Every structure is written in structure tokens, then in C-alpha cells.
Amino acid sequence: MNLGRRSLRWRHRWVAVLAPVLALVVVAGCSPEPQTEYTKETASNFFAGCTDPKVDSLLQTRLCQCVYQRMNVSIPYERLAVLDGELAADPELRLPREFVSLIAECVIEEGDLSR
């Protein structure tokens, strides 16, 4: 297995997962008062793009929960607006380090078989 190809698949998956959340930034930007915080709709769109309980494993679902919780705490909603603009300008852009680190932390935490 080529690690580079696997890494690229994960990157595309997380870009696809973030896309529904980022779409909210665009919609919120059209309203009189822009959205400035994570909402139930943000969570709903994130989980709809991240996991399908009928198909995905429990680990994938837990990974999505971890990523969303950490993103909600450590990445300001306004940062999503910036990322939205960056990805709209260049869809092949690498995910920023703070998102990659957050995802990696969740993979390590949720993949820990000793707990």
C-alpha cells in the first residue's frame, strides 16, 4: 500500500467532511447578521458529511464526534470562514495544520486500544 495515496484519500475525506460545515459560512454570510458560532445546524451538517451509521464503523463515528468536539472548542467559527474562502479559491489546497493536527489527535485518541 502506498502511504501517499492513503494519506491523499484521508485528506479528500476530511475536505469533504468540512465542506458542509463551510457551506454554512457562505449561507450565514448572506444573512443580515453573520453566524459567529457553532450551531445545531453546523453539527448536523458536519455529522451528515462525516459518518453514516448504517455503513461506517463505530470507530469512524467516534472519530467524527471527537473531531467536531475539538473543532468546536479549539477552532473559532470565524476560522472556518477563512478556510472556506481558501478552499473555494483552491480546492486542492492542503488542510491547514490546525485541522490536520486536530484530526490526528482524534485518530490517536479514538484508536487507542488500551482504553
Going by pLDDT thresholds of 50, 70 and 90, the confidence category of residue 2 is very low
What grid cell was written down for 66? 471527537
| Cell numbers that stand for 39 in this block | 450551531
Average pLDDT over residues 85-100: 85
More confident residue, 11 or 97: 97
Is 80 exceeded by the pLDDT of residue 102?
Answer: yes
- Stated pTM of the model: 0.68
Q: What local confidence, expressed as pLDDT, does residue 101 receive?
A: 93
Q: Please report where in the chains the cell 478552499 appears, as a residue.
A: 87
Query: Residue 1, exposed/middle/buried by CB under 10 A (0-12, 13-18, 19+)?
Result: exposed
Mind listing the pLDDT tens digit for each residue in 23-50?
544 444 455 577 788 888 888 878 888 8
Q: CA gyration radius for the chain?
A: 14
Burial group, residue 13, by CB count within 10 angstroms (0-12, 13-18, 19+) = middle
C-alpha grid cell, residue 41: 445546524
Mean pLDDT for 95-112 is 88
C-alpha to C-alpha distance for 112 and 39, rounded to whole angstroms: 29
Give the residue, 113 or 50, on which the prediction is more confident: 50
Distance in angstroms (rounded) separating the CA atoms of residues 85 and 47: 21
